[in-house]
Structure 1
Amino acid sequence: MKETTSPADQLDELVSVERGEIDRRIFSDQEIFDMEMKHIFGRAWLFLCHETQIPKRGDFFEAPMGSDNVLVVRQKDGSIRAFLNTCSHRGNAVCRAEEGNVRNFMCTYHGWTFGLDGELIGVPGKSIFYKDKLDLSKHPLRKVAQLDSYRGFVFATFDETAPPLEEYLGPTGRLGLDLLAERGDIEAVPGVQKFVVKTNWKFTVDNVFDYYHPQITHMSAFAVGLIPAPADDFVEGGAMTETGANLEVPFLPTDLHNVVMVGEYGHAISGPDQDSLEVTAGGREPFAWRYKPETQEKLGHHGSRVAGHPHIFPTTWVNAGGQLSLRVPRSPGVTEIWWFSFRDKNASPEEKAATLSAQIHFFGPAGLLEQEDGENWAQSTLQTRGTVSREVPQLLKMGLGTSEIVKDDGLAIIDAPINEHAQLWTYHAWREWLRNPTWEELRQRTMPGDRL
């Protein structure tokens, strides 16, 4: 790609699904990042919070929507609204807290005050300085174009022409949230873990589906038993073993069964299925959570198999430990990670404590897995800035062109060994979003075909 050529004109060169190659510049180019903010984060339905985080009237939660911040507020009638956290006067934030309960929002610059519904209700000196000629009704806080929730998960979009939330999620996105909602009468654990990694947001998304890296990246987690290593007899019976750097590394079995689901707009689910993980772990408790029989019936045959990670495009990850993560893009090389943890309201205090302990130790700033992942993401992002290094393409060739997509129960499913199908699907959808097509064109271009 020529340096003087606009990325918008070179999207087919930036992402080649046929070759399984990605141009590294998409991870560090400012112009591409600006396109993402406009054409992806300015249009997509984005997760804001869970309804249990704002149960009472006046409760609010500040959430990111691309490069903007919005206040999600429980109204007096119990409904939910969201609006930009920026004063319609001079732009100052009208709220400095991340969450809480208020009667109204007052800008600390000049004291303009807004109601829970975002309407301007007070201006100091309105009669004296404005001679009562300022029409308050014309200067409310800017509202999101659409807001809706699915099973308690609140989403919003800045695009008034976007399809309804449930249509946007489709079968794949809805299943991803169902897998979390079906854990019981869930509620969000108070507090959101937040930390910053010097990486591009797409590396964090790519890693959601990557089951090729754990045996290398997370050797320490295997060593301390945080992740059950493959049973010895299973490893000897067919898994690969490679030696390097004076370490004998037990690879995950080459025939570890994976289930991949790809959906319109870029949503995907990928990873081992439940039975495969249990066999690999030699009958020990697998990393994933086994659903009760009645829940499996609700999720259906394919949904109850899922032990991997669902991802709702562009940046909402539902993980197997009862958590949801947002990857918030702050710049081409900086991403803020948010972790929401959930628990069953009806669980015992001991069960709640055990669940939270596991969640904290797996992911988040104290999470063993994400500390290791973050190092890889930061280094990978750094290399995309090298004058020569960035010319080396990223490779997504594992299983390329070999897997059939089977349509069943509204889902597009691939059954295959460890692969990179979901990653390739994500980048394919990313490319189509940046073309800025109509919603119908985007849906058609991200409708799964027969092979990937």
Structure 2
Amino acid sequence: MSRYDAQGRLELADRIRKTVLPERGQIPMFVYTDPDVYELERERLFGSTWLFLAHTSEIPNPGSFVVRSMGEESVIVGRGDDGVVRVFLNACRHRGMRLACEDFGEVANWRCPYHGFTYGSRGEFMGTLMGAPFERSAYPEGLDRDALHLVEARAEIYQGLVFATWSRSGPSLDEFLGDVRWYLDLIVGRAEMEVVGVPERWMVPTNWRLPSENFTADAYHTATAHSFLSRLGMVKGVDFGRDGYHVDPGGGHGLGIGVHFDGESYFPAELAEEYATRLDGGQAQTLARVKNLHGNVFPNFSFLIPNFIEIEGRRVSGAMLRVWQPAGPDRTQVWSWHLVERGAPEWWKRLGRKMYIQTFSSSGMFDQDDTENWEAQTRSSNAALYRQEEFLLHYGMGLDAPPLPPGEFPGPGDVYDGKFSEAAARTYYRVWRNHVLEEVR
């Protein structure tokens, strides 16, 4: 009997309910790569939550667009003549062929390459059917242009970050992000930011949730998986990932802030004035102490200030965005953006790009370490699908540790002293469980 009949769904839901117990620090390994769990995620998670798609600097002009994904569905993110950014399902209403087959561009219309149905890509006609070849002879009764409008997602922007959801109701983007906005500002709100080049993409044979939860809560792996930094003299010791704060801002989001004790900001002095005008006092104070910052917006949008390293005699870092795009239960397409302050000095831009390529690009040293671990975890999960007994994983780090008292850290959420904690990972799985179990009868 297929698990996707009514009885099968109930049995799967019951298994998730009984074994996914983040409040006990317990997660079963089968949920990573079980195909039926993945189908629930496609329907209940990626079909309803806010998903990051693009940065506004990628679509600067009327008619400019990029092609991205929501779950496994292709979408067009475009800017109209009115400056409004809209998101449409990348599928013609005639036979479902993809309209935009390029990754990005700037056009007056989107024209289906199959039968030639044409849709507006600008202004008030954006997404509207404009016409079809030989329309009068093929459709003498005419075409209902309203009924054939492109399927549009709900789209909103925060600090240049374009998000969309298929849910017509539910929380606004601000409500969805909640307290994590305070921390996102340290990455994308500290200055006017722009994407450098186009995002890199590559495939990894791993489940999408493994890297997502890594950025949410896992500073613990750095001493082992990334110990090369110490051996190469790039940091003072393998404990470089410990000092700082673990933050559970709620909503399934999470982050870690690594801090230094040198007394002066590692960021360029030339940008201090812009930072001060865009950040509040607590944010500016926090940014001045940052030596690294990693985080994840639920479910699969990660952000990073990599550890500052010295290049050509200057200490440098950057800003990176990631989407862990699901392509199956054990296959993920990585999308990676490098951002920089538009008004930054040229040395910061040049060395920041060099740092990105060296550390967190598709060929970067950190990614080689991480993807090897995620691939091996995925193989273990696939093997565990055939076990007679559940293989339970331990998510109990800091389970009984209280957060800092109010006022001891300027940012919101539950903030823990030191980055070694799994509090945000446990919240991540509580939110995940709520999504995949909703509407189960």
Q: TM-score normalized by structure 1?
A: 0.83
Give the 3 Å change call, closer, same or farther, for CA 220–273 of structure 1 in structure 2.
closer
Q: Indicate the residue corresponding to 1:422 in structure 2.
A: 424
Give 1:50 shift.
Answer: 0.9
Query: How far does the alpha carbon of each residue in 1:348-377 deviate from its partner, in whole angstroms, 9 at most, with x for none?
Result: 333211111111211121111011100100
Query: How far does the alpha carbon of each residue in 1:158-179 deviate from its partner, in whole angstroms, 9 at most, with x for none?
Result: 101121111111122x123201
Q: Indicate the residue corresponding to 1:7 in structure 2.
A: 12
Which amino acid is the alignment partner of residue 247 of structure 2?
M
Q: Which moved more, 1:9-18 or 1:388-397?
A: 388-397
Structure 2 residue 183 is matched with structure 1 residue 176? yes
Q: For residues 53-72 of structure 1, what are the structure 2 equivalents within 5 Å?
A: 53-72=58-77
Structure 2 residue 183 is matched with structure 1 residue 186? no
Q: 1:336 aligns with which of 323, 330, 333?
A: 333
Q: 1:358 aligns with which of 355, 358, 365?
A: 355
* 1:385 match: secondary structure: helix
Q: Distance in 1 between matches of 2:406 and 2:40?
A: 33
Q: Which moved more, 1:177-186 or 1:400-409?
A: 400-409
Which amino acid is the alignment partner of residue 166 of structure 2?
F
Q: Is the 8 A contact 1:176 1:318 kept in 2?
A: no
Q: 1:265 aligns with which of 244, 247, 251?
A: 251
Give 1:437 shift.
Answer: 6.9
Which amino acid is the alignment partner of residue 349 of structure 2?
K
Q: Distance in 1 between matches of 2:357 and 2:52?
A: 21
Q: Indicate the residue corresponding to 1:299 in structure 2.
A: 283
Q: Indicate the residue corresponding to 2:400 in structure 1.
A: 401
Give the 3 Å change call, closer, same or farther, for CA 154–132 of structure 1 in structure 2.
same
Q: Is the 8 A contact 2:254 2:297 kept in 1?
A: yes
Q: TM-score normalized by structure 2?
A: 0.85
Q: Indicate the residue corresponding to 1:442 in structure 2.
A: none
Q: 2:380 aligns with which of 371, 380, 383?
A: 383
Give the 3 Å change call, closer, same or farther, for CA 390–319 of structure 1 in structure 2.
farther
Give the 3 Å change call, closer, same or farther, for CA 113–407 of structure 1 in structure 2.
farther
Query: How far does the alpha carbon of each residue in 1:218-273 deviate from its partner, in whole angstroms, 9 at most, with x for none?
Result: 23343334x4132xxxxxxxxxxxxxxxxxxxx5289x444122233211122433
Give the 3 Å change call, closer, same or farther, for CA 390–271 of structure 1 in structure 2.
farther
Which amino acid is the alignment partner of residue 380 of structure 2?
Q
Which amino acid is the alignment partner of residue 196 of structure 1?
M
Q: Which moved more, 1:4-13 or 1:420-429?
A: 4-13
* 1:196 match: secondary structure: strand
Q: Indicate the residue corresponding to 1:101 in structure 2.
A: 106
Q: Distance in 2 between matches of 1:216 and 1:32?
A: 31
* 1:340 match: secondary structure: strand
Q: Is the 8 A contact 1:187 1:343 kept in 2?
A: yes
Q: Indicate the residue corresponding to 2:132 in structure 1.
A: 123
Q: Distance in 2 between matches of 1:414 and 1:215?
A: 19
Q: Indicate the residue corresponding to 1:318 in structure 2.
A: 303
* 2:414 match: secondary structure: strand
Give 1:89 shift.
Answer: 0.6
Give the 3 Å change call, closer, same or farther, for CA 229–257 of structure 1 in structure 2.
closer
State how many pairs are aligned: 405
Give the 3 Å change call, closer, same or farther, for CA 135–381 of structure 1 in structure 2.
same
Q: Indicate the residue corresponding to 1:446 in structure 2.
A: none
Give 1:390 shift.
Answer: 8.1
* 2:155 match: secondary structure: strand
Give the 3 Å change call, closer, same or farther, for CA 211–417 of structure 1 in structure 2.
closer
Query: How far does the alpha carbon of each residue in 1:266-311 deviate from its partner, in whole angstroms, 9 at most, with x for none?
Result: 1112243344xx69xxx9x98x999958357262656766643121
Q: Distance in 2 between matches of 1:177 and 1:289?
A: 19
Q: Is the 8 A contact 1:24 1:390 kept in 2?
A: no
Q: Distance in 2 between matches of 1:312 and 1:389?
A: 34
Give 1:204 shift.
Answer: 0.5
Give 1:105 shift.
Answer: 0.6
Q: Distance in 1 between matches of 2:23 and 2:159?
A: 37
Q: For residues 268-279 of structure 1, what are the structure 2 equivalents within 5 Å?
A: 268-275=254-261
* 1:336 match: secondary structure: strand
Q: Indicate the residue corresponding to 1:228 in structure 2.
A: 235
Structure 2 residue 149 is matched with structure 1 residue 140? yes
Q: Indicate the residue corresponding to 2:315 in structure 1.
A: none
Give 1:414 shift.
Answer: 2.2
Q: Distance in 1 between matches of 2:14 and 2:105?
A: 45
Q: Is the 8 A contact 2:255 2:296 kept in 1?
A: yes
Structure 1: where are the runs of 5+ without partners?
231-250, 439-452
Q: Distance in 2 between matches of 1:160 and 1:25?
A: 32
Which amino acid is the alignment partner of residue 372 of structure 2?
E
Q: Distance in 2 between matches of 1:253 and 1:359?
A: 19
* 1:347 match: secondary structure: coil
Structure 2: where are the runs of 5+ without partners?
306-317
* 2:146 match: secondary structure: helix
Q: Indicate the residue corresponding to 1:50 in structure 2.
A: 55
Q: Indicate the residue corresponding to 1:244 in structure 2.
A: none
Give 1:318 shift.
Answer: 1.0
Which amino acid is the alignment partner of residue 360 of structure 1?
I
Q: Indicate the residue corresponding to 1:198 in structure 2.
A: 205
